[in-house]
Amino acid sequence: MLKLAEHMRSPEIPHRLGWLNYWSAAAARAIGFPEPALDAELLSRARRTATGGWVVRLTDAPLDLDNPAHLDALKRAYERFPEIGGRSTP
């Protein structure tokens, strides 16, 4: 279950994942992105911004939760980044 924003441990951590995600340099550091060995799939759909942040697409096409492959990609991303949504333990 995702936590409300006011219960998150750090303002840098994203509240939730979407199809298209922008993570500032601080947010990326807070969630541990990128880790090349773990994030190869995400890095194939990511680009670095001029300010050191990241724009990351979870899937090639817009997220469709009726598509099992898209739902799996979303689940994998939440498993990879338990901090997002405040699901990790401090």
The residue type found at 72 is: D
CB distance 86 to 9 below 8 Å: yes
Q: What was the pLDDT predicted at 7? A: 52
pLDDT (tens digit per residue) in 59-76? 999 999 999 999 999 999
Assess whether the previous peptide bond of 14 is cis (omega < 30° from 0): no
pLDDT (tens digit per residue) in 2-52? 445 555 466 678 888 999 999 999 999 999 999 999 999 999 999 999 999
